[in-house]
Amino acid sequence: MDTGICEHCGKEFTVTKYGFGLRCPLCKGKIDVFPDDEIFVTLPFGVVGISGLKEMWRNGE
């Protein structure tokens, strides 16, 4: 599981969802949560890796 650090309370939390304007599970402050530059997804037929995510999030793709 991925973890993140809230910009409001500074505490580490387990990421359950990515997106804009989510709520910190600890302090309820609004945060934007996105994966690092690469993410790997395990599917029934194997593992798929996706890279270049930071650019995709910035460009709204």
Helix or strand run (H / E) with residue 26: none
**47 burial level (CB within 10 Å; 0-12, 13-18, 19+):** exposed
Q: Check residue 59 and give its pLDDT.
A: 64
Helix or strand run (H / E) with residue 56: helix 53-59
The CB density around residue 15, as the number of other CB atoms within 10 Å, is 14
Distance CA 39, CA 2 (A): 10
Number of structural domains, the chain? 1
pLDDT in tens, 7-57: 999 999 998 888 888 999 999 999 988 777 677 778 899 988 877 766 666
Instruction: Report yes or no: 48 and 41 within 8 Å, Cβ to Cβ.
Output: yes
Given a cut of 80, is residue 4 above it in pLDDT?
yes
Query: Higher pLDDT residue, 48 or 1?
Result: 48
Q: Which domain holds residue 24?
A: 3-59
